[in-house]
Amino acid sequence: MSAAQKAALRAEALAARLRHGGDPAGITGHLTQALAPHRGRVLSGYRPMRGEADPLPAMQAHDGPLCLPVVTGRAVPLIFRAWRGGPLDPGPFGTWHPPESAPVLTPEVLIVPLAAFDRAGNRIGYGGGYYDRTLQILRAAGPVVAIGLAFASQELPQVPTEEFDQPLDLIVTDAGIVLPAH
């Protein structure tokens, strides 16, 4: 698949996400269930934008440290800063992140946003490669659980993969929890 074809697939998936959305209560219920075994672990989530499934209610119910991603430049891994529900600063691409005074944390469990996914655990994001770079480094350093969060309407039969793509360990949707078969 060419870069242009992948970009077209991403644009279509992002438009479909905005059009269809899904059931917020199903997202919160299934995400809370998926996070239950990870009590006490450092959890990274995200502040939703552009029609993304909202992880915040399930994050607030997590019994453990929370953090949010921070984009510090182009083509560099994300860093994560602690967040206890306080005010956020605006970042690039419409993101919001904790202030620079918040300590940097290393997440053990990550809730990963996405444009489209498949049942094998492959995902397409915004095309920055941020989560791919970040998961590669975190996984090289120790055990990490990457949980993709999406509406069921964002599933595709097969997402094209490239060698740098980092697969998801679990996918949570408003319809249920998918354990990818590897």
Ligand X SMILES: Nc1nc2c(c(=O)[nH]1)N(C=O)[C@@H](CNc1ccc(C(=O)N[C@@H](CCC(=O)O)C(=O)O)cc1)CN2
Ligand Y SMILES: Nc1ncnc2c1ncn2[C@@H]1O[C@H](COP(=O)(O)OP(=O)(O)OP(=O)(O)O)[C@@H](O)[C@H]1O
> Where do contacts with ligand Y occur on this chain (CB under 6 A)?
124-133, 136, 164-165
Which of 166, 111, 106 shows the shortest CA–CA distance to 141?
106
Does residue 49 belong to the site contacting ligand X (CB under 6 A)? Answer: yes
- Take residue 52 and report the two structure tokens written for it: 């993304």
**Min. distance of Cβ 37 from ligand X in angstroms?**
24
Q: Does 117 bind ligand X (CB under 6 A)?
A: no
Separation of CA 7 from chain center: 19
Neighbours of 93 (CB within 10 A): 10
Q: Cβ of residue 124: shortest distance to ligand Y, in angstroms?
A: 5
| One-letter-per-residue 3-state SS of 102-156 | CCECCCCEEEECCCEECCCCCEECCCCCHHHHHHHHHHHHCCCEEEEECCHHHEC
Which of 64, 127 has the CB closer to ligand Y? 127
Residue nearest to ligand Y (CB): 125
Q: Which does 52 bind (CB under 5 to 8 A by kind): ligand Y, ligand X, none?
A: ligand X
Among 46, 80, 83, 151, binds ligand X (CB under 6 A): 46
Instruction: In angstroms, give the least distance from the CB of 137 to ligand Y.
Output: 8
